[in-house]
C-alpha cells in the first residue's frame, strides 16, 4: 500500500464537539480502531500484481504487517507529513465548539 499524499482524504469530522469530547474520543481505543482499519485494508488489498485473498493472508499475518507498517511510518515521519497532519488536527480543533 503506497501512500499517495496527493489523494486528499477527508479528515475525521469533529464539528459540534467540544475539545473535551475530542480528547476523550482520541484515546487508545481510537488508535486501536485505526489499527484495525489498517488490518482490514491489508486483508482486502488488491492491485494488478497482488491480491491478499489469493495470497490467503491470515488475520495474524495482517496484524503483524500492520504493526510493521506503523513502526515504519513512525521511524520515517517526515516534515511534510508532520505539517500536513498538524494542520489537519489544528483545523479540526478550531472547528470544535468551546
pLDDT tens string 18-75: 767 766 666 777 788 899 999 999 999 999 999 999 999 999 999 999 999 999 988 9
Number of domains in the chain: 1
Q: d(Cα 3, Cα 22) in Å, to the nearest integer?
A: 26
Closest alpha carbon to 75 in 64, 67, 87: 67
- Is 31 contained in some domain? yes
- Is 12 contained in some domain? no
Place of cell 472547528: 95
Range of the domain at 50: 19-95
- Is 6 contained in some domain? no
Q: d(Cα 62, Cα 36) in Å, to the nearest integer?
A: 10
pTM: 0.62
Amino acid at each position: 500500500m503506497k501512500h499517495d499524499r496527493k489523494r486528499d482524504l477527508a479528515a475525521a469530522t469533529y464539528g459540534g464537539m467540544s475539545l473535551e469530547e475530542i480528547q476523550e474520543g482520541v484515546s487508545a481505543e481510537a488508535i486501536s480502531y485505526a489499527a484495525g482499519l489498517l488490518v482490514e485494508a491489508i486483508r482486502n488489498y488488491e492491485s494488478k500484481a497482488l491480491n491478499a485473498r489469493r495470497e490467503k493472508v491470515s488475520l495474524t499475518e495482517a496484524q503483524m504487517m500492520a504493526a510493521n507498517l506503523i513502526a515504519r511510518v513512525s521511524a520515517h515521519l517526515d516534515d511534510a507529513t508532520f505539517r500536513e497532519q498538524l494542520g489537519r488536527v489544528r483545523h479540526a480543533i478550531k472547528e470544535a465548539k468551546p
